[in-house]
Structure 1
Amino acid sequence: MRNTKALPIIGVALFLALASVLVAAKWMGDQGVSGTRVAVATADIVQGARLAPEQLQLAEWPVGSVPPGAITDLKQLEGRIVRSDVARGEPVLESKLAPPGTMGGLSAVVSSGKRAMTVRVNDVIGVAGFALPGNFVDILVNLESTSTDNGTRSPSISKIVLERILVLAVAQESNRDDSKPRVVNAVTLELSPDQVEKLDLARSIGTLSLVLRNQVDPQPANTAGATRESVLGLPEAKPAPAPVAAPAPVVQAAPTPVRPRPAAPRNDGVLVIRGLDAAPQAFN
Structure 2
Amino acid sequence: MKGRRALLMLFLAAVLGLAAVLLAARWLRQPATSTVRIAVAAADVGLGQRLAPDMLALAEWPAGSMPAGAQREPAALAGRVLKASVQRGEPVTETKLAPAGTLGGLSALIAEGKRAITVRVNDVVGVAGFALPGNFVDILVYAPAQHNGSNGVNETAVSKIVLERILVLAVAQEVARDDTKPRVVNAVTLEVTPAQAEQLDLARSVGTLSLALRNQVDPQPGATPGATRQSVLGTGMAPALAATSAAAPTTAAPRLARAALPPSAEPARYCIGVIDGNRSSKECL
- Tell me the TM-score range normalised by the shorter chain: 0.7 to 0.9
The 5 Å alignment of 1:123-134 reads 123-134=123-134
Distance in 2 (alpha carbons) for counterparts of 1:73 and 1:122: 46
Residues 230 and 236, structure 1, Cα contact 8 Å, conserved in 2: no
C-alpha separation between the residues in 2 aligned to 1:10 and 1:174? 63
- Secondary structure of the residue aligned to 1:218 is coil
Identify unmatched segments of 5+ residues in structure 1.
238-284
Deviation at 1:54, TM superposition (A): 1.3
1:90 aligned partner, one-letter code: E
User: Which residue does 2:234 correspond to in 1?
Assistant: 233
Secondary structure in structure 2 of the residue aligned to 1:229: helix
Query: CA offsets, 1:202-235, max 9 Å, x none?
Result: 1111110011111222221111111111111225
Shift of 1:201: 0.8
Q: For each residue in 1:165-212, what CA deviation from the matched residue of structure 2 results, as whole angstroms up to 9, or x when unmatched?
A: 111111111122222222111111111111111111111111100111
- Residue in 2 that maps onto 1:13: 19
Q: How far apart, in 2, do the equivalents of 1:236 and 1:154 lie?
A: 17
Alignment partner of 1:198: what SS?
helix
CA distance in 1, matches of 2:222, 2:155: 23
Secondary structure of the residue that 2:116 maps to in structure 1?
A: strand
Where in structure 2 are the equivalents of 1:1-284 lying within 5 Å? 13=19, 16-22=22-28, 25-26=30-31, 33-148=33-148, 150-234=151-235
* 2:161 aligned counterpart, secondary structure: strand
Unaligned runs of 5+ in 2: 1-6, 239-285
Runs of 4 or more above 6 Å deviation: 2-8
Q: CA deviation at 1:8?
A: 8.5
CA 1:5 to 1:199, structure 2 compared with 1: closer, same or farther past 3 Å? closer
Q: Give the corresponding residue for 1:258.
A: none
Aligned residue for 2:76, secondary structure, equals helix
- Asked whether the 8 Å contact 2:169–2:190 carries over to 1, the reply is yes
* Alpha-carbon distance between aligned partners in 2 of 1:15 and 1:58, rounded to the nearest angstrom: 38
Separation in 2, partners of 1:235, 1:76? 71
Whole-Å separation in 2 of the counterparts to 1:15 and 1:130: 62
Question: In structure 1, how many angstroms separate the alpha carbons of the residues matched to 2:132 and 2:209?
Answer: 17
Structure 1 13/158 Cα, relative in aligned 2: closer, same or farther at 3 Å? Answer: same
Q: CA deviation at 1:147?
A: 2.8
Q: CA deviation at 1:18?
A: 4.2
Q: CA deviation at 1:112?
A: 1.1
Alpha-carbon distance in 1 for matches of 2:21, 2:53: 50
Against the structure 1 CA distance between its residues 210 and 5, is the aligned structure 2 distance closer, same or farther, given a 3 Å change threshold?
Answer: closer
Structure 1's 8 and 120: CA in aligned 2 closer, same or farther, altered over 3 A?
closer
Residues in 1 aligned to 2:210 and 2:235: alpha-carbon distance in whole angstroms: 25
Q: Given the two structures, how large is their TM-score scaled by the length of structure 1?
A: 0.73
**TM-score normalised by the chain length of structure 2:** 0.73
Contact kept in structure 2, 1:83 and 1:97, CA below 8 Å = yes
Deviation of 1:22 after TM superposition, in Å, equals 4.5
Deviation string, structure 1 residues 7-34 (Cα, Å, up to 9, x no partner):
99578536632453146x24xx5xxx43
| Bigger Rg, which one | 1
Separation of aligned partners in 1, 2:96 and 2:13: 62
Separation of aligned partners in 1, 2:123 and 2:210:
10
Q: What is the aligned length?
A: 231
| Structure 1 vs Structure 2 CA RMSD | 2.5
Structure 2 CA distance, aligned partners of 1:171 and 1:210?
Answer: 15
Q: Residue 104 of structure 2: SS of its match in structure 1?
A: coil
